[in-house]
Structure 1
Amino acid sequence: MQAEMLRLANDMASTHSFSFLLSSLAVVTLGHVLRSPSLHLRRETKSSLGYPKDSLLNFTELTAEYGYLSEEHKVLTDDGYILTMFRIVKARNCHRAKRSPPVLLMHGLLQSSDSWIDSGPDAGLAYLISDACYDLWLGNVRGNYYSREHVRLDPDKDPAYWKFYIEEIGIYDVPAMIDYVLEYTGFEKLNYIGFSQGTGTFLVMCSEKPGYCDKVKLVISLAPASRQMHTQSKIFRTVTQFFYRMEDTLSRAGLYEAFSKGGPGQEFAAFFCHLSSEAERLCEEVIYEFDHVNSLHFGSIASKTIRVLFGHFPAGTSVHNMARYGQSMNSGRFEKFDYGREQNLVLYGSEEPPQYNLSATTVPVMCIYGKNDGLVDTRDVEWLMAQLPNVLELVKVEDPQWSHLDFTYSQYTKNTVFPKINEYLLKFSYG
């Protein structure tokens, strides 16, 4: 079986049809049905097949590999979800007391805390922040493979587990993690860094949970996802709008989970992308087709990172959350889920879904974004920042080719975005 997979993958590597095939796989690799144990190879088997070691390690193992000591923490939300957080307690290059207050770093859609370390200690933002002696905590939202637990609901059996989108993440997950970090460390406030969805859910929290913005000194927003009216990625538009149109059909078929780690899409990509330089190049091509306005831009994400990240990505979310992103492609508003006029009237008291109150985000915000971002367009970023009452600075990365996933995976993070991040963390920190 493995020999046949190897032959097939090498045949595919010789053609440019792989981009289309992997994009198609992304649409159909959903749900529990596709979490078949027979498709999931053991770590030992993957190691024997030559998978990069870093792609097989979890967060604490991978950070330890490079001389960083991490802790795992479990956080319980008010609605019963059990989330996993990580704290880097010892950095390789920090030889002084930690700065305060703590920093909470939040990943984007379909990612996990691993996304901040996949590019290695010289580029991963988690390593860079820790080496600058900040007390760094990393969150994982419900539905990804680190936070796939609940006090009552079994994600493999109970559809109710998956009935969430950014609303629940913003109302329950982000506040629970903020409260946990503050209680554990004894501080009254923390600094927050959110990438893409990690900013969007923070905005939801400020809108729907009065007082929680007061627990944050500073928000550093990286390519923030709110409305996505101008998203230029054809693949992302197609995939998310497929979910939006087909959610009811998928639910009737028993499919509620999307892009899980261990599903055939993720397993195949992890297998294929390490086979050869040609296969690796095609995997890189898929990333740039998906992410860039100008898809001819190559080289920001190192070859090693390409092979490693597919061991951890995609990390999983709900079909309902993906459907909400499909909705956001068609709206000029940052709004709640649109269930249709009749159900909206029942749930919201209005035919249209209510908008999130962006003016409630009173915390100081600094934003960094990229010109070549095909997922979060510059026009939507600039629209969002115009709605917020306390924007300190809006920074467009000088590299005109800087795109969405460069924030987590680029080999150039240390010299492009980290200096500005560090500048603001220093302004809002002590020690």
Structure 2
Amino acid sequence: MAFQRSVSVNILTIAGCVTIAYYIRTWFPAGQIEKSILEYPKESLVNFTQYAIKYRYIAEEHTIVTDDGYILSVFRIQNKKCEGRTHQPPVMLMHGLTQSSDTFLDAGPNAGLAYLLADACYDIWVGNQRGNYYARRHVILDPDKDPTFWNFSFDEMGYYDVPAMIDYVLDHTGYKKLNYIGYSQGDAVFIIMCSERPDYCSKVHGHISLSPASRLMNTKSLYMRSVCITVSKLETLLAGFGINEVFSIGAFMQILIEIICKCETITEPIAGTLISGVLDAYHTGSITSETLHRMSSHFPSGTSLHNLAHYGQTMQNDRFQKFDYGETRNLIKYGSKEPPTYNISLVTPPTVLLYSRNDNLVDKEDLDWFIDKLPNLLEIEEIADPMFNHLDIVYSQYGKELVFPFVCRNLQRFSVPKNESRWV
């Protein structure tokens, strides 16, 4: 019964989105939306480095290749005024599900976490996980022709992507360790890396966890539950129809969000509700229309059907575990009938954790389950605003007052005096 209700909600949501898109196109003459009412701000047409340079930051794009052949872009951002005064060691920022490195710039220079940290004179490296538009390449596989490209979930992101990025940053900067800030899925993949490849976990000096998405059994978002659980039930069928990539740039959901967000008269009442209230919990006015404009051209930014199916599994059991292929395939792949669980006790770097009470994606009960298993947790902080939700952590106009102080204070804790050379 619960699953049937979930599927019904999913169908109704899709039907509602189609209706909204139809009426927007009906109200405004064809071709006039993009030219006038939905005129694109310049920021929506540029990439990470162009975003940053526009506001007079130093930005670089770097390309890395994972051990299994995925090609990922990693961006570096620094404030020109901090030349020669940058804190040690470098800092890696990692985005959440269907997001990209741009997530940390979308709130603008007064609230975007990458900007704020660069202003505080940190050497910031912002990663991308396989499947988004900055990480949609492979040395052999063509994502448009080879379904095998999309045969990944957050399992592979944690095992391959994060270690490859850590190696690159350390090799490029000459440091032995870095500080890691993970948001949502960006923190889940860090946990997976520590569980599966603890030698890489030892390359992290300090770990800042922002609303970590590990076990999600109690996720309250009806939309996310319905989509992910439906996909987990129907993955084989959908893949048989050639659906392997989901929520990509140019796909229905991204175009719908872009259309709505570019229409000034309905941006906050409709787009704010669609992005915040449907995906998460309501927090009116927290995400500004300017931020919605910026993010709409690249959010959602893409992932694999298989990844959503894995999230669907996570929402249906009380473990944080590898993908469940069924008893027969599990025996072949893992040597056991059940998929192995991730060993959170191996997350050994000093850890601090920030969460919001009004989070409909990472529920407090699941968070407490995760916290109980962390071996080196130094600090937990709940965001003071009781209405602050999951998406607010990266998109809210109040991030400078409610998120940045916690992050900056703890980066200072994990930083090393300059006279200690590059040993950290």
Structure 2 length-normalised TM:
0.89
Is 1:88 aligned with 2:77? yes
Match of 2:409 among 398, 419, 423: 423
Is 1:47–1:53's contact at 8 Å kept on the other side of the alignment? no
Superimposed CA distance per residue, residues 305-364 of structure 1 (whole angstroms, 9 cap, x where no aligned partner): 112211110010000001000001011110011111221122222221110111111111
CA change 1:135–1:22 in 2 (3 A) is farther
The residue that corresponds to 1:327 in the other structure is 313
Question: Structure 1 CA distance, aligned partners of 2:156 and 2:333?
Answer: 15
Alpha-carbon deviation of 1:21? 4.6
What's the secondary structure of 1:204's corresponding residue? helix
Q: Please state whether the residue corresponding to 2:320 is helix, strand or coil.
A: coil
Q: What corresponds to 1:165 in structure 2? A: 153
Q: Which amino acid aligns with 2:61?
A: E
5 Å-filtered alignment, 1:407-418, equals 407-418=393-404
Superposition pairs of residues 187-266 of structure 1, within 5 angstroms = 187-266=175-254
In structure 2, distance between residues paired with 1:242 and 1:403: 24
Structure 1: distance between partners of 2:148 and 2:341: 25
Conserved 8 A contact 1:291-1:373: no
Question: Which range moves more in the overlay, 197-206 or 279-288?
Answer: 279-288
Q: 2:164 is matched by which residue type in structure 1?
A: A
Q: Distance in 1 between matches of 2:373 and 2:38?
A: 51
* Distance in 2 between residues matched to 1:412 and 1:244, nearest whole Å: 35
> Does 1:176 pair with 2:164?
yes
Q: Is the 8 A contact 1:367 1:394 kept in 2?
A: yes
Do structure 1's residue 70 and structure 2's residue 56 form an aligned pair?
A: no
Q: Could you give the per-residue CA deviations for residues 69-114 of structure 1, whole angstroms, max 9, x where no partner exists?
A: 200000010000110000014x155465111100000000000000
C-alpha separation in 1, matches of 2:357 and 2:81 = 32
Asked if 1 retains the 8 angstrom alpha-carbon contact of 2:38 and 2:263, the reply is no
Residue aligning to 2:21:
none
Letter in 1 for 2:109: P
- Map of 2:372 onto structure 1: 386
CA distance in 1, matches of 2:341, 2:263: 47
1:58 to 47, 52, 55: 47
Superposed CA deviations along residues 135-175 of structure 1, whole A, max 9, x for unmatched, are 00000011100111100000000011000001110110000
Amino acid of the structure 2 residue aligned with 1:304: E
Which of 290, 293, 301 matches 1:315?
301
1:345 to 1:336, Cα distance in 2 relative to 1, 3 A: same
**Partner-residue secondary structure (3-state), 2:375:** coil
Name the SS for the 2:266 alignment partner.
helix
| Aligned residue in 1 for 2:139 | 151
- Note if 1:367 corresponds to 2:353: yes
For structure 1, the 5+ residue unaligned runs are: 1-18, 26-41
337-346 or 360-369: which moved more? 337-346
Aligned sequence identity (%): 51
Greater shift after overlay, 201-210 or 188-197? Answer: 201-210
Give me the whole-angstrom Cα distance separating, in 2, the residues matched to 1:273 and 1:93. 34
Q: Distance in 1 between matches of 2:196 and 2:35?
A: 44
Distance 1:156 1:407 in 2: 33
Question: How far apart are the structure 1 equivalents of 2:315 and 2:41?
Answer: 36
Residues 213 and 426 of structure 1: CA distance in aligned 2, closer, same or farther (over 3 Å) = same
Indicate the residue corresponding to 2:22 in structure 1.
none
- Using the alignment, how far apart are the partners of 1:159 and 1:24 within structure 2? 28
2:166 partner amino acid: I
What is the alpha-carbon distance in structure 1 between the residues aligned to residue 37 and residue 217 of structure 2?
Answer: 45
**SS at 2:61 equivalent:** strand
Please, what TM-score do these two structures have when normalized by structure 1? 0.88
Of stretches 332-341 and 263-272 in structure 1, the one that deviates more from structure 2 is: 263-272
What SS does the corresponding residue of 1:164 show, helix, strand or coil?
A: coil
Give 1:283's match in structure 2, choosing from 271, 276, 288: 271
Three-state SS of the structure 2 residue aligned to 1:343 is: helix
RMSD (CA atoms): 2.0
Does the 8 Å CA contact 2:267/2:289 hold for their aligned counterparts?
A: no
For residues 291 and 255 of structure 1, what CA distance do their matches in structure 2 show? 22
Q: How far did 1:24 drift?
A: 5.3
Amino acid at match of 1:356: Y
Instruction: Specify which of 402, 405, 413 is matched with residue 388 of structure 2.
Output: 402
Secondary structure of the corresponding residue to residue 277 of structure 1: coil
SS at match of 1:339: coil
1:133 matched to 2:121? The reply is yes
Alignment of 1:303 onto 2:289: yes
